[in-house]
């Protein structure tokens, strides 16, 4: 039995299947961890979700910002856009079942035996493991409630960028969603910067990537994340592992096998790139 961790699939189903074959992933005995953003930008979001749902007993998923966007669009809170490639999903007869399954996925996955943590964007430098688990569960409780769409609509706030015990309950959840699904940079005082998406090769003081701060996570845990395809060429320090290599932007889809830290990669196929 092996654990494979794959980066943001973004609807790139064909590349995803080729990568599974290339790595000799065995659905009968192996486990697959997916770093969020299953959908959008690539052409086959419905195929990605249907496949992962069909093998859900062997898969661990975290939600990313594009997955939340699909949930909001499906609920009618947001309008669909051409670049999402969601039309086929939104007209599928299975979409209610699949959306409910998506809503039931967490924002952090933790395996204490193998000492691995995965979140779409990362883990706040101000958090320990218990805090990350606690707020993933709290957000998930709202996502499975009847008012989940209105809850999500009210969650995105760039001004909630610093963790404090003085935050009210909703602002703690807003901060948590920002961390789990949107975070890239922090200021030196720990505040999140939620606008800069450039590579750290081109960004200097006062911003640093969140994973360059001292962490409260025990040093023997490995932390896997996606969300930041622009990290290509930047040396991400251990124990952090960046999984998103920008397949939907013409890059590649990447996966790592936990046991021997071997990487597998599948280059994009031209039709999967948004024109």
Q: Shortest CA distance to 244 belongs to which of 58, 6, 1?
A: 6
153 pLDDT higher than 50: yes
- At residue 232, the pLDDT reads 86
So where are the chain's domains? 3-272
For 77, which DSSP code? Answer: S
Helix (H, G, I), strand (E, B) or coil at 190: coil
Residue 268 confidence (pLDDT): 95
Q: How confident is the model at residue 165 (pLDDT cuts 50, 70, 90)?
A: confident
- Per-residue pLDDT reduced to its tens digit, 90-146: 999 999 999 999 999 999 999 999 999 999 999 999 999 999 999 999 999 999 999
Q: What is the pLDDT of residues 129-145, one digit of tens each?
A: 999 999 999 999 999 99
Tokens found for residue 273: 């790139």
| Per-residue tokens: 131 | 């805090």
Q: Write down the pLDDT at residue 272.
A: 46
Averaged pLDDT score across all residues of the chain: 96
pLDDT of residue 273: 44
Q: Which long-range contacts (CB under 8 A, 24 or more apart) does 256-260 make?
A: 256/4, 256/5, 256/224, 257/2, 257/3, 257/4, 257/23, 258/2, 258/3, 258/4, 258/5, 258/114, 258/116, 258/222, 259/2, 259/3
Cα 11 to Cα 37, 128, 138, 186, 215, distances in angstroms: 8, 32, 28, 29, 32
CA torsion through residues 207, 152, 248, 29, sign = positive
Rounded to whole angstroms, how far apart are CA atoms 212 and 80?
36
CA end-to-end span of the chain: 40
Tokens representing 59 are 């898969």
pLDDT band at 233 (very low <50, low <70, confident <90, very high): confident
C-alpha angle 138/213/109, rounded to 5°? 35
Q: Please state which architecture CATH assigns to domain 3-272.
A: 4-Layer Sandwich (3.60)
Report long-range pairs for 249-255 (Cβ below 8 Å, ≥24 apart).
249/41, 249/273, 249/274, 252/15, 253/6, 253/7, 253/9, 253/12, 253/15, 253/16, 253/19, 254/6, 254/7, 254/19, 255/4, 255/5, 255/6, 255/7, 255/19, 255/23
Is 37 a residue whose pLDDT tops 60?
A: yes
What digits encode the pLDDT tens for the residues 236-255? 999 999 999 999 999 999 99
Alpha-carbon gap, residue 249 to 264, rounded angstroms: 18
Task: Tell me what pLDDT residue 271 has.
Answer: 63
The token pair that represents 111 in the structure block: 């395996």
Does the pLDDT value for residue 172 go beyond 60?
Answer: yes
Are 52 and 26 a contacting pair, CB within 8 Å? no
pLDDT of 274 strictly over 70: no
């Amino acid at each position: 039995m092996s654990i494979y961790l794959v980066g943001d699939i973004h609807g790139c189903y064909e590349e995803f299947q080729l990568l599974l074959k290339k790595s000799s992933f065995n659905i009968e005995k192996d486990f697959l961890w997916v770093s969020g953003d299953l959908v959008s930008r690539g052409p086959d979001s419905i195929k990605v979700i249907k496949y992962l749902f069909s093998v859900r007993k062997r898969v661990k998923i975290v939600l990313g910002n594009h997955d939340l966007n699909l949930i909001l669009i499906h609920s009618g809170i947001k309008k669909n856009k051409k670049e999402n490639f969601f039309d086929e999903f939104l007209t599928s007869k299975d979409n209610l079942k699949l959306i409910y399954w998506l809503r039931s996925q967490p924002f952090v996955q933790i395996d204490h035996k193998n000492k691995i943590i995965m979140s779409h964007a990362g883990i706040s430098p101000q958090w320990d493991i218990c805090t990350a688990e606690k707020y993933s569960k709290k957000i998930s409780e709202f996502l499975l409630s009847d008012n989940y769409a209105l809850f999500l609509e009210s969650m995105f706030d760039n001004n909630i960028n610093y963790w404090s015990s003085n935050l009210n309950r909703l602002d703690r959840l807003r901060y948590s969603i920002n961390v789990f699904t949107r975070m890239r940079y922090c200021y030196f005082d720990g505040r999140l910067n939620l606008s800069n998406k450039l590579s750290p090769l081109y960004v200097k003081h006062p911003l640093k990537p969140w994973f360059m701060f001292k962490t409260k996570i025990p040093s023997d845990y490995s932390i896997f994340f996606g969300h930041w395809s622009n990290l290509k060429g930047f040396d991400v320090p251990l124990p952090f592992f960046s999984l998103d290599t920008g397949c939907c932007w013409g890059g590649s889809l990447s996966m790592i096998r936990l046991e021997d830290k071997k990487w597998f990669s599948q280059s994009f196929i031209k039709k999967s790139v948004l024109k």
